[in-house]
Structure 1
Amino acid sequence: MEMNPQQVADRARQLQDRVVPQIDEARQNLVDLNNRVVTFIRANPGTCLLGAVAIGFLVGRIASRR
């Protein structure tokens, strides 16, 4: 099935019209998630620091076994 350049351009526009809103929604969801995470970290810095140390310890243990 051959397509002429106009058909390819139309298909590309249709794809863009479907994908761009999804990308924008995903971007907004990531911004919202980031804001919630930052708020949590600011409200609970000690808990987050202990969690980061624990995860670092576990990663170090796993990495040292190889």
Structure 2
Amino acid sequence: MDVNAQNLQDKARQLQENVLPQLEDARRNLEDMNNRVVSFIRANPGTCLLGAVAVGFIVGRIASRR
């Protein structure tokens, strides 16, 4: 029983060591993407507003069919 608990702890520790760097990379990538999107929106507010209206119109048309 004690061997199984130690084995599980070792596997959990190994999984954590493998997953944490990947999570950190994903966080950095999402943060970078967010910064780029915010910069684009600030540089092109009219285009983004028109896009949002168009998407809202399309979603509204799809939702009204039901």
Alignment TM-score > 0.5, same fold: yes
Partner Cα separation in structure 2 for residue 20 and residue 11 of structure 1:
14
How many residues align? The count is 64
Alignment-derived partner of residue 27 in structure 1: 27
Partner Cα separation in structure 1 for residue 10 and residue 65 of structure 2:
55
Which protein has the bigger helix share? 2
Moved over 2 A (4+): none
Alignment-derived partner of residue 48 in structure 2: 48
Partner Cα separation in structure 1 for residue 46 and residue 33 of structure 2:
20
User: Is 1:11 aligned to 2:11, yes or no?
Assistant: yes
Q: Which consecutive unaligned segments of at least 5 residues does structure 1 have?
A: none
| Identical amino acids, percent of aligned pairs | 72
Normalised TM-score (structure 1): 0.95
Normalised TM-score (structure 2): 0.95
